[in-house]
Structure 1
């Protein structure tokens, strides 16, 4: 058998930054599992391929075989670049090509064929635009950003890649899923164009003043017509590329007016209805009721806290169960948020729950509005009365104190007893223990030293232990800051990241939403648990800028404990 050959061949070793490079990976035996080099990290972008060719011939009774993978590359930077190794498996053995050095110079003048020259250019026929619904909103007023790619009718778009994603600092943001990209007709710069909606986002500014939305940038592959025609008179197309950017956008956010702002205003902005409903108003001794406080409407529903009821001391109230049924279309949040309180009466009688007030800023009128519930009377039909209950408790406490004082009045409360006989130290059990202890410690020291050496060599294991310890530490820090919103969510986010580092052995820089989902799925984690983990990490970022109740913070902490426990069991 002939010796296996696997090599990389290039069309030229020196080229201008505006020229294209053809690279061909050839082999003289059939192979599988071809892995190309990482072209982007080498300073090149793939604009064509991979294409594959296979040939086999017989000459004078001898067979020859050739197989190739062909790529067309475009340099992205100047200098001495190196295309790294490609690999393939042939007959169970891995073969690799040698690195190829390419010198990329300044742009060169390309020979022009009038028939091959593009009839139109991509530079003047492709535009990326960010349509913003409002550039001077109020604080917490929703605005929308829609990114549209406009292109003329004689240009074809084959592919695009995101170079820079938009960043929404000081905004609460929600991306709207686009199930299918569809080209539509529209007007741009007074002319007819086709356009595709690439991204839709709803934003709620969390800070007043001048805020910047960083741009979305794309790298686009396209086809443009030339002056040449085919048999039917249609223009022949050539490949071209262009980088487009929507540009940064400035949003001037107006603060909410101070004139007429109530003291109990909690940051609600929009149009709402407010309701307070008890499950029942007549109870027997030992029964409980549920008090539901809810806000329904359109506005920043996830970014403010509901008011708390004030109850008489005879009614015991537990922490609420918070529920959200909120959707976020392109027009902004809409739906309902609810707090349900469990209330248990302690004594017989009639008790009144005072009216609860809810204040919001109405965008339609530009004024603050206050909604108030009706007073609620709770009738407890039986059980101990307030006066008798307090009197009975006081008498029992006083009686117990007197009886305890009389029973132990003659006893000394603190005593110190000493033995009258003393044991000699020489020959005692302690003496022999101290004598033989050094000899017994020698094997332990040897075993401990070996374990320490093995542990020091286990770099990955030590890194995992350190990340696991940090996760427990930060989760403990999060628990300490349950009453403080921002420190709590910072510590909680660090705990979640360090848990992933401990269990999956990945770095923080690799913790994108897609990467986490891919790795957890490969480790047999349940899709529901993965979705809960992603949602909780995103909520840590959003919650820093949004008002949060103590109940919501406690729920997020309990959710983190539950998710970490579930992943501990599921990950393999």
Structure 2
């Protein structure tokens, strides 16, 4: 009876908790705010629309009386509390007042989780300032060059978006660029951003345009001339292999078309027009990502992909004990510079090393990420003597040649003189560190206590323990023979072996993640947790890397009768690790993510 009452209470509490989460999830709010409520003509200000959720569709209000000189600019953040992942997004525009007066900017219409929500209206007062040229020069299509109008009935041939990638066949970690371009030869009245592309499976770096105005060009495409504007330029680095898809950019335009009219006056003045809303998307791009080859991979390879050179420098060749040295390693070139890890510096035991300081001089263009990254190590020799800082080894994969390249820096001799008395920062019971090391090679201390002497005939030889250990050899041999036979039988099926060993492979990745957690490298931590879960699921469920996605994982786990709650926790954790590469995570600590990943693997092991 006691167990029955407890079960009912638990079910009732869970239902209330789930209902509370559902109610909270539906409480979506859109807030409009401005950086200034009173501006002069020609003075720029920002209007921002903040949403506590993922924006599925965004329709901005009419901005009559203002020029749009920047935007839409999007920012996002994510948080996870007790496994419940939430998102908040903000879309902003830079506006300039054109005429004096009081204006009310109406509400924006946002779709979140399939539900339409309106923002509040904001009031702006425009006072006298500097003169502003009339017309929205930023978004207007140039009128100087004549462009063929094409078929006025088929808008899709006169207005479309293209995603153009400079490469579609790359290696993991190899950089490539994507441009999102707008093609039009029809009059545009207004536009709105519906959805920015997602880059799941990629590390992305947007190329920032210093100019606030969109630059229009004339381009011939499929035999037709178009006005073309480049809306976004992104540099991408694949983080896993397989066929990965770049999601489309979606926008809504208001186009102006000629409408037939029988009125002779309207015909004389050019006829009448009608404005029509038209939604367009760029075509998704499939990127074939190849794994880095195992053949020729150097020992200690740390994921550098591109074309690099290195240089090393030591600021001093002679110092006193406990004085500081600065060892600098500079990596120059193009590739995944921002994803490089600090090289491992091998030093004599008597030289203390501190974590390096990282200085970047990196620029992003459509040709890729290039520049230099500098690692500065602080070194402190603790004892006098002559030392050599061994050459540092750095290896990278060059996608242009398809081969690994190993580079070696020079070696540096260091002469360390005896330090000043009291300069040693490490305290010892008697004498300095150098004195202790000398005593270890000198006369040993007199041994005190029981010497452990025995009488003749009372030793180990001939005792019962002696004969017992003598028989242990044949017994161990037979046990080893039986174990070998069992091992061969148990490892015939390769798929079952991979499934059994999946937990061990995941444990290695999680152990690496724990090291990164201790060192404070959050990006590397989330990357190791992400790879650990995906590697474990690939081996456990026997799914190839190319077919490894959340839908296939969920189906396979359901076939193995794994609880739905465990599958949901797994999906949330994978989404959380994916989001951590693009935006900061709040509401859940890295330790909680680590513990949650371990628990999910253990639960799958118990149920699958």
TM-score (norm 1): 0.50
The alignment status of 1:147 with 2:180, answered yes or no, reads: yes
Q: Kindly indicate whether the alpha-carbon contact (under 8 Å) linking 1:357 and 1:371 is maintained by their aligned counterparts in 2.
A: yes
Residue pair 2:203, 2:581 contacting (<8 A) in 1 also: no
Q: Name the CA shift for 1:86/1:381 in 2 (closer, same or farther; >3 Å).
A: closer
- Select 2:204's aligned residue among 168, 173, 195: 173
* Equivalent of 2:437 in 384, 387, 390: 390
**TM-fit CA distance, 1:215:** 1.1
Other-structure match for 1:558: none
- Asked if residue 352 in structure 1 is aligned to residue 388 in structure 2, the reply is yes
CA distance in structure 2 between the aligned counterparts of 1:208 and 1:240, rounded to whole angstroms: 42
- Relative to structure 2, which stretch is displaced further, 173-182 or 376-385? 376-385
Q: Distance in 2 between matches of 1:199 and 1:387?
A: 62
- Residue 182 of structure 1 and its aligned partner are, at CA, apart by 2.1
Find the aligned partners of 1:338 and 1:487 in 2 and give their Cα distance. Answer: 19
1:414-563 matched pairs, under 5 angstroms? 481-483=517-519, 540-542=580-582
Question: Using the alignment, how far apart are the partners of 2:438 and 2:395 within structure 1?
Answer: 42
Aligned to 1:339: 375
Aligned residue number for residue 95 of structure 1: none
Q: Which residue, out of 265, 275, 282, partners 1:239? A: 275
Task: Return the index of the structure with the highest Cα Rg.
Answer: 1
Name the CA distance, whole Å, in 1 between partners of 2:239 and 2:321.
47
Cα distance in 1 for partners of 2:355, 2:116 equals 63
Tell me how far apart the structure 2 counterparts of residues 389 and 70 of structure 1 sit (CA, whole Å). 78
Aligned-CA RMSD value:
4.7
TM superposition shift of 1:130: 0.8
Query: Counterparts of 2:386 and 2:172 in 1: how far apart (Å)?
Result: 43
- In the TM superposition, residue 481 of structure 1 has moved relative to its aligned partner by 3.2
CA distance in 1 between partners of 2:162 and 2:180 (Å): 6
The answer as to whether partners of 1:184 and 1:195 remain within 8 angstroms in 2 is yes
- SS class of match (1:177): coil
> In the TM superposition, what is the alpha-carbon distance from 1:139 to its structure 2 partner?
1.2
In structure 2, how many angstroms separate the alpha carbons of the residues matched to 1:133 and 1:393? 65
Contact 2:193 2:250 survives alignment (8 Å): yes
Q: Is the 8 A contact 2:59 2:192 kept in 1?
A: no
List per-residue Cα deviations over 1:271-307 (Å, max 9, x = no partner). Answer: 1111121111111244221011221111101112132
CA separation in 2, counterparts of 1:82 and 1:326?
42
Structure 2 counterparts to residues 170-249 of structure 1, below 5 A: 170-178=201-209, 179=211, 180-227=213-260, 234=270, 236-249=272-285
* Contact 1:349/1:379 (8 A) holds in 2: yes
Q: Tell me which residue corresponds to 1:473.
A: none
| Contact 1:316–1:344 (8 Å) recurs in 2 | yes
Q: CA deviation at 1:84?
A: 9.6
Structure 1 contact 219–244 (Cα < 8 Å) conserved:
yes
Q: Deviations over 1:451-507 (max 9, x none)?
A: xxxxxxxxxxxxxxxxxxxxxxxxxx999932586698569xxxxxxxxxxxxxxxx
Q: 2-side partners of 1:87 and 1:331: how far apart?
A: 43
Provide the C-alpha distance between the structure 2 equivalents of 1:140 and 1:82, rounded to a whole number of angstroms: 40
Relative to structure 1, the CA distance from residue 542 to residue 277 in structure 2 (aligned partners, 3 Å threshold; closer, same or farther) is: farther
Distance 2:310 2:167 in 1: 28
Deviation at 1:190, TM superposition (A): 1.1
Q: Take 1:195 and 1:278, find their aligned partners in 2: how far apart are those partners? A: 52
Contact 1:348 1:386 in 2 (8 A): no
CA contact (8 A) 1:122 1:241 kept: no
Residue of structure 2 aligned with 1:378, choices 406, 414, 418: 414
Alpha-carbon separation, structure 1, partners of 2:348 and 2:295? 33
Distance 1:86 1:369, change over 3 A: closer
Aligned to 1:435: none
Aligned equivalent of 1:494: none
Q: Give the SS at the match of 1:391.
A: helix
> Does the Cα contact within 8 Å between 1:288 and 1:343 map onto a contact in 2?
yes
TM superposition shift of 1:44: 12
1:171, distance to aligned residue in structure 2 (A)? 0.2
* Structure with more contact order per residue of length (Cα contacts < 8 Å, sep ≥ 6): 2
Partner of 1:437: none
User: Gapped runs of 5+ residues in structure 1?
Assistant: 1-37, 52-68, 90-117, 406-476, 492-536, 545-552, 554-572
Indicate the residue corresponding to 1:367 in structure 2.
Answer: 403
- SS of corresponding position for 1:482: helix
In structure 2, list runs of 5 or more residues that go unmatched. Answer: 1-50, 66-103, 124-150, 421-431, 450-512, 528-576, 585-589, 591-608
**Tell me, what secondary structure is at the counterpart of 1:169?**
coil
Per-residue deviation at 1:388? Answer: 4.9
